[in-house]
Amino acid sequence: MTIRKLARSSAVAATALLAGAAGLTGCDQLDVFGWFDDDSGGGALFIPFGTSVSAAFGTPIVTRGNLGMYLASEATTGAAGRDLNGDGDTADQVAVLVSGSAQSTIPVATESFQLTRFAAYLVVDEDKDGRDWNFDGQTDDLVLLVSAGGAASFVSVLDVATASQSFATEDRFYFKNVPVGGLMPGETDLLYTTAFTPGFPQRLLSADATNTLEPTVFASDEGLAFLAQDEGTEGRDLNGDGDLNDGVVVALLEERDPTAMVVNTGLAVSNTGTPVRAMSRGAGDWLVGLLVSEARQGGTNFNTPGAIDLGAGWQPSQCSGLGDGDTGDDVLHFLEYAAFVADPVTNPPRNTGLVGVNRIFAVPGAAGSPGYVGTLSDEQDEGNCSLNRDPGNGNDTDQVDQVLRWTEAVAPVVPFGDVDELVALAAVNGGTFGATEFDGRFVAVVDEAADSRNHDAVPAVNNLLLAWLDPRDGAAAAWTYSHSVPGAGFVGTDYMTASRSGDRLLATIDENVTGFSLNAGDPDIADVVPAFARFDPFQPSGDLDFPGPAVAAVTGDALLRMVNRSAVYQVNENEDRKDWNEDGDRNDVVLVRTSVDVPSSTVFVITVISTDASNTNTFTVVPRIEFTDSGVLLLTNEGPFGEDINFDGDLSDFVMQFVSL
């Protein structure tokens, strides 16, 4: 493999970069090396900054906001290892914090770590670290430390049995700790700390003032935390189904109100991996969605005509008489948080009757509407009904499809059920499972073959089509398949995700659907190109535009992300028919960036991901790629890279590199 070598930045420049890095003072700064060239013709090549330490084998990589963190290995740093935490051995793994365009070690032997937007929280075994962090005269404790822009400091002793139940959200870090005298009625064993009060954890209280509580935070969305309550641990029935067998009865907690209490919803979900959703509707209020387990919730059949909260016309006409008779489904429920907390009797959670998997959606409603909730429904969970069977032509009688379903968050519940609204989805790469929320609408990847319907202008061709629908259109809501792109206007895709900022839909465009080549210099129509879609602000009726560069992204997994105002994605040189890194061949996969605002003229190479210089062996240069809000972390393999990145005299290490965008 050949990677074009570039001139290194001076040590002075690297030192100045670190010295100016905000929020890292007080940590041990590392030697940082980076280099840059802007004469590559097709775009600038950025070899990201790297460090003088080796990444630990299999290190977790965590990102949140502008921060990233991973573990460095003492044993493989330097020719004979390097004692990074000063305990006299080279057997530890030490946390490394990435912020902006600098990395710094937190010189502590670290068992595990988590990040909020402003701080790193470390779980440390005192014996391995060789320090008495809580000053009890011994080094036999498991402790929680925090680094909020400086050296690590002590927060609390942890119980080995519950240390893994800690959880970081955007602003808070939750962990378990029982006071010496035990819990008082109304108290929980859960505390939280923030970057602004790291040494003063606050104990959470329960809205149930007569009992103690031992909940565990398992998710957070838009400032609302979701907690699991275990009836076996609590010794009481928390969801009113008459048993003590439910392990995840959901409670809610408003994170940005220091006086907020843990509030029980009385609803059980299957496990802590079950998706949840909380759409903020202003200070102190959310539209909340939960996939409630029929089996856990007293063996109740929630998705059959006549079930609680379901109105007349709840069942789609194509499913009339084909009810569901089991109690093994997860069914979407919703609640309006502020109203529920104020009076849970008159404002209880509501059953939608919609079976769900993988995702819950929530979008705002029109004036006076509380909004819309939705989920992905597996037909196999819907009794004997094929949700997308068109009675007009009798097609698609199978029950193997996944369909987006939604309803307005009002009671009685009557979901949207017209057969033209219920279409089979394709779970393309990007993490959306084939559907997402974007700018108040639903966007989906419709699988024509699975749907047994032709939605574009190409007869007898089964494509994966990008379509959108606005639920605020009510009974007139319909999927829009034709968009403002050249040709027929239909867009096929094999990758879709939403940007972190929420103002762009990131998707690929399939040349086979448009019918002509979209990437310059390549005459075939076998490629996909990246696009940064948006609804045209000058077209109030809705016009989905697809600006993007004329470059072929990697088919099947473009790894398309947005960082600041740059889109980052993978390019296959062979598919694009261009030697992007100028190494004399077109066999590489490279990571590139493009300005979202000026996509036609700003395509720059970041680094090589993999290469096949001999056309027989593919070498993976970057096996892990993670993104922060301001940059990209690249776990690089020195051997295929062909350079001793951390200057320890060998090419056998994995080294974290990063580029700030």
The whole-angstrom separation of Cα 407 and Cα 366 is: 13
Write down the pLDDT at residue 485: 64
In sequence order, which residues have a C-beta less than 8 Å from that of residue 37 and are 6 or more positions away?
Answer: 6, 7, 44, 45
Contact by Cβ (8 Å): 30, 52? yes
Cis amide bond preceding 364, omega within 30: no
C-alpha angle 337-340-342 in degrees, rounded to nearest 5:
110
* Burial of residue 168, with CB atoms counted within 10 A of its CB: 0-12 exposed, 13-18 middle, 19 or more buried: buried
pLDDT of residue 11 exceeding 50, the answer is no
Mean pLDDT for the stretch of residues 43-70: 83
Q: What is the pLDDT of residue 494?
A: 96
* pLDDT surpassing 80 at residue 47: no
Q: What is the pLDDT of residue 287?
A: 98
User: Predicted confidence band at 457 (pLDDT cuts at 50, 70, 90)?
Assistant: confident
Q: Is the pLDDT of residue 41 over 70?
A: no
Q: Residue type for 485, please?
A: V
Q: What is the pLDDT of residues 167-193, one digit of tens each?
A: 999 999 999 999 999 999 999 999 999
Phi, psi values for residue 346, rounded to 5°? -90, -15
> In this structure, what token pair is assigned to residue 220?
């957070």
Question: Would you put residue 353 in left (φ > 0), alpha (ψ -120 to 50) or beta?
Answer: left
* Secondary structure class of 625 (helix, strand, coil): strand
Cα-Cα-Cα-Cα dihedral sign, residues 613, 617, 620, 621: negative
Decide if pLDDT at 100 tops 60: yes
Per domain, the residue ranges of the chain are 202-272, 275-422, 431-620
pLDDT at 590 over 90: yes
Q: Report how far residue 428's alpha carbon sits from residue 154's, in angstroms, rounded to the nearest whole number.
A: 44
Site of tokens 């939604």: 406
The pLDDT mean for the chain works out to 88
CB distance 424 to 450 below 8 Å: yes
When pLDDT is averaged across residues 46-73 and rounded to a whole number, the result is 89
Residue 108 has pLDDT above 90, yes or no: yes
Q: Which two tokens stand for residue 182?
A: 């035990």
Q: What angle do CA 430, 64, 251 make, to 5 degrees?
A: 90
Q: In the structure, what pLDDT confidence band is assigned to residue 472 with cuts at 50, 70 and 90?
A: very high
Six token digits for residue 363: 């979008």
User: At residue 43, does pLDDT exceed 70?
Assistant: no
